[in-house]
Amino acid sequence: MQRAQPKFGKLPGVEAGNDARSEDETAAGALADKIARLKELRLARDAAARATPRPAPAKKGRSKKKQKKRPAVALADWLKNRHATS
């Protein structure tokens, strides 16, 4: 164990461990700031949307042409016509 200790102390990145942690903390802090800024913008957008009155919905007219109803055919007549065409 005593022989391995000096080797691990000289490994690259061991001394920079504190720097890596502070870089992670800095990145996390920047991310938290970004999230807070975006939340503030979203809340402002939502408040502005609530403040403006919504336009009245446009009345929809019937754009489709109404199909004419065919006169009802008795079942017996329908069957006769079906067999006659076959």
In a domain, 79, yes or no: no
pLDDT at 48: 92
In a domain, 69, yes or no: no
In a domain, 37, yes or no: yes
pLDDT at 10: 61
pLDDT at 66: 72
Give the integer Cα–Cα distance in Å for 28 and 26.
5
Instruction: Report angle CA 29, 22, 12 to the nearest 5 degrees.
Output: 145
Query: Which domain covers residue 46, as residue numbers?
Result: 20-52
- For the cut 90, the answer to whether the pLDDT of residue 37 exceeds it is yes
Question: What band does 15 get if pLDDT is binned at 50, 70 and 90?
Answer: low
Give the integer Cα–Cα distance in Å for 86 and 76.
16
pLDDT digits (tens, 9 = 90+) for 42-80: 999 999 999 888 888 887 776 667 777 877 888 888 888
Residues whose CB falls within 8 Å of the CB of residue 13, separated by 6 or more in sequence, listed in order: 20
Give the integer Cα–Cα distance in Å for 61 and 74.
35
Domains in the chain, number: 1
